[in-house]
A = this chain, B = another copy of it.
């Protein structure tokens, strides 16, 4: 693998998708009042039970949001890509975090102190509305996931996970390889199954020419079929 150069993070105005609704004063304030943090691969960013202190924005890299369930079996709730916010839900509800977040790749994160974030939410109606939209969207996704993960069979759940990853992270230059390389365990934790079953089912998909595998690189060959499998359950 080519050695990764540590790139300088982009300025916050290029990263924050809600920048457009901020007032000039708020913009200047945020430029001066945010911090930049780098996390190594597999480093924990915050964990369940922690008191939330900052709203966070992923500048670069990839992170997973997950919960530890029965017997410390992990369930990945969602995967984030650059520009997405996290860690703020708990600030709004004024409760400890109910998820863990960790970097699946080296990641750079902008942090804004909780009180500053709340203050803008309470003073800038358009800003508040944007986050209302974001949470409304996330809630829809979460509710849909309840049904998908509980009712679909293994093949359907894994197919769905692969399609979601492709939609979320896109593909490499070849137009097929999903642009995120996850361990089989992470794929399993996304799809609510054991690692063995993720491996087994991936092998089956490969035998059926639905995907092609090269280590952690997964290529979707027959997307139609994958969609069908995902829909059937």
The interface of chain A, by Cβ under 8 A from chain B, is 67, 69-71, 73, 75, 77, 89-90, 92-93, 95, 98-99, 121-126, 128-129, 131-133, 135-140, 142-152, 156, 192, 232-233
Contacts and interface: CB of A to CB of B under 8 A. Distances in A.
B70 A152 contact: yes
B133 A92 contact: yes
A107 B122 CA distance: 34
Specify the main secondary structure of chain A where it touches its partner. Answer: helix
Given A128-B128, A128-B129, A129-B121, A75 B147 contact: yes
Q: Output the residue of A98, A147, A233 with the most chain B CB within 10 A.
A: A147
A147 B71 CA distance: 12
Contacts of A192: 150-151
A233 to B, nearest CB: 4
A198 to B, nearest CB: 14
Contacts of A133: 92-93
B128 A69 contact: no
Nearest to A191: B150
A151 B73 contact: yes
Nearest to A70: B233
A98 B144 CA distance: 8
B93 A143 contact: no
B144 A89 contact: no
A139 B89 contact: yes
A23 to B, nearest CB: 13
A69 B95 CA distance: 32
